Structure 1
Amino acid sequence: MNQFEMMALFIQVAELGSFAAAATQKGIARSVVTRQIAALEAHLGVQLIARSTRRQALTSAGKVYLERCKAIIDLVQQSEAELIEEQLTPKGNLRVSLPLSFGLRHLSDVLMQFAQRYPDIHLELDYSDRMVDVAAEGFDVAIRIASELALSDIVRKIGQCELYFVAAPSYLALHGTPQSPEDLLQHQCLQYSHHSRWMFTESGKEVSFSTKGRIKANNGDALAKAAAAGMGVSLMPDFIARDYLADGRLTRILSDATQAPIGIYAVLPSNSYIPERVKLVVDFLAENVPISLQEQKGA
């Protein structure tokens, strides 16, 4: 028997007042019960039940341990009942960390649909481009747009996006149009705070370099506004660039210098049980967010 099973057996013996009665109730030999209680006492280093030829009684340590065991068993049974109930009617609090621009554009409506479908789940949405510690900060799931993730992360891919080099026509008219990625070293590059290096593939070869520029921000929309104002060149995700390109505020440049699509992932805590409501929201996002935002270009 494991520790939990021995605790449950001890409760039976204590409440029935007899090794024999506990053995009969469990359908096992009395010697097995006696041996298991003895093993439990040896493990704890204390006597729980005083035995004599006429009677048995709980010691003072046994009385304290009995109350602790009953509380633990009750808690386990309650937890199991709650989990079973959640499988039938998902409920509870759900904390989700979302990237600001992508979250507002593509996830807010989806999550509102999720909330309508599951009225007993309470959503707490945190919109920020900050890289949160999912477990330490108490999030149930975090949505991340990243080219690579930590090996310890539990993830599910829910989509992907592409990156474009863009600049305003006014900037290009004043400073010229870069003809190769190396030309960007002579230009003002609008930098995303969390990524100081730009990576791309040119003629089948991966290239990366550190950008330089006098404007840096931790949000893609802020960089898009700066680019549209003629402040420099930006490497921008398609879900932000699309509207700017469509109305001519920005122009795509260096289209031959491509970057592999970047994954959009649901990241889950790696050190805890994953509740049904978390599985449900991840499945819902995966089903309702296009695997590639390129699918929306014609929309």
Structure 2
Amino acid sequence: MELLNDMALFVEVVKAKSFRGAAEIIGVPNSTLSRRISTLEKAIGLRLLHRTTRRIELTEAGQIYFERCKRIVDEARLAHEQLGEMLEQPSGLLRVSLPVDFANTYLAPLIADFARQYPGISFEFDLTPRRVDLVAEPFDVAIRMGEPEPSHMIARPLARLRPYLYASPHYIALHGKPANPSELGQHECLYMLKGKVWTLSNGTETVEVAVDGRFRLNSIGLIRRLAALGMGIAILPEEIVSDELADKSLQRILPDWQGAPMSVYAITETRLLPAKTQRFIEFLRSRLK
């Protein structure tokens, strides 16, 4: 790498026709520049420049070396410029693993906005419940909900969603509303397979309530649909049930109480990310806030 840097310095000296002129252009001391070129000449084993008090002249070897170095330096500069353009307008195929229900009910319009903003990016989405292997499988990023599991992967927080309690007007008409969290045990509740205990808080008090019901599921989307169909009480982030709240097929109950925050985060294998992945994560973070 030092050799490449010295080649670039050599090119600047020849273009400026003096050490002093090159030093002013690139912002390094004249003495440092002269020493670096001398080191380069020693490494090559040939004199590249004839030095005089007022100017420098290329030797025969220096002329050949300059022509080669200039092409290399120009190519490197072009590569940097092209990468800069990629950062400004990223392109390529973005492979993302997404949680099924959250993607369908909430992320879809955000993804559409992102796609319109970056027309050079194409997409490959995997919507399955499984946790993909970012090392063995060709994914750029995985979006997950819940708490990150201990691993060597990089977890970037995107948002914290607050769940609330919801029921349909039909369910409320048949069974009434619970007056406090302790009455949830007397109602049909729709809960995740490992979520039979709900932690609820009203800002000053936190309680744990054991719930029960005919439906135990591993799908937030199906819980949402069954709740809207009057099959029980659900605890879900407001972002998930925005459509049902708008059409009044669900309404909030026990409004002073809310569930434990649910984290949304992006998982990557490394911190060094291509522009397309960086932009996608930054976009979701800004919108999910």
Superimposed CA distance per residue, residues 191-246 of structure 1 (whole angstroms, 9 cap, x where no aligned partner) = 12464432221462333344322213333231122112221111122123233234
Superimposed CA distance per residue, residues 41-75 of structure 1 (whole angstroms, 9 cap, x where no aligned partner) = xxxxxxxxxxxxxxxxxxxxxxxxxxxxxxxxxxx
Matches within 5 A, 1:127-138: 127-138=127-138
In the comparison of the two structures, how many residue pairs are matched? 223
The CA distance in 2 between the partners of 1:266 and 1:82, in whole Å, is 29
1:243 paired with 2:249, answer: no
The CA distance in 1 between the partners of 2:80 and 2:199, in whole Å, is 45
- The 3-state SS of whatever aligns with 1:178 is coil
Percent identity of paired positions between Structure 1 and Structure 2 = 35
Matches within 5 A, 1:94-243: 94-146=94-146, 148-152=147-151, 153-193=153-193, 195-202=195-202, 204-243=204-243
**Structure 1 residues 87 and 257, CA gap change in structure 2 (3 angstroms):** same
How far residue 107 of structure 1 moved from its aligned partner, in angstroms, is 2.8
What is the identity, as a one-letter code, of the residue corresponding to 2:253?
I
What is the identity, as a one-letter code, of the residue corresponding to 1:123?
F
Q: Does the CA-based 8 Å contact 1:98-1:126 persist in structure 2? A: yes
How far residue 190 of structure 1 moved from its aligned partner, in angstroms, is 0.6
Matches within 5 A, 1:24-43: 26-28=40-42
Superimposed CA distance per residue, residues 261-289 of structure 1 (whole angstroms, 9 cap, x where no aligned partner) = 4333222224x7422221121122233x1
Specify the alignment match of 1:279 in structure 2: 278
- The 3-state SS of whatever aligns with 1:107 is helix
The CA distance in 1 between the partners of 2:154 and 2:249, in whole Å, is 39
The CA distance in 2 between the partners of 1:108 and 1:156, in whole Å, is 20
The CA distance in 2 between the partners of 1:126 and 1:118, in whole Å, is 20
**Structure 1 residues 131 and 197, CA gap change in structure 2 (3 angstroms):** farther
Q: RMSD of the alignment, in Å?
A: 3.6
What is the identity, as a one-letter code, of the residue corresponding to 1:286?
R
Q: Does the CA-based 8 Å contact 2:106-2:240 persist in structure 1? A: no
Q: Does the CA-based 8 Å contact 1:87-1:276 persist in structure 2? A: no
The CA distance in 1 between the partners of 2:254 and 2:264, in whole Å, is 24
What is the identity, as a one-letter code, of the residue corresponding to 1:177?
K
Q: What are structure 1's unaligned runs of at least 5 residues?
A: 6-23, 31-80, 292-299
How far residue 86 of structure 1 moved from its aligned partner, in angstroms, is 4.1
**Structure 1 residues 28 and 210, CA gap change in structure 2 (3 angstroms):** farther
The CA distance in 2 between the partners of 1:195 and 1:83, in whole Å, is 51
What is the identity, as a one-letter code, of the residue corresponding to 1:163?
P
Q: What are structure 2's unaligned runs of at least 5 residues?
A: 3-37, 45-77
- The 3-state SS of whatever aligns with 2:96 is strand
Specify the alignment match of 1:20 in structure 2: none
Given the two structures, how large is their TM-score scaled by the length of structure 1? 0.61
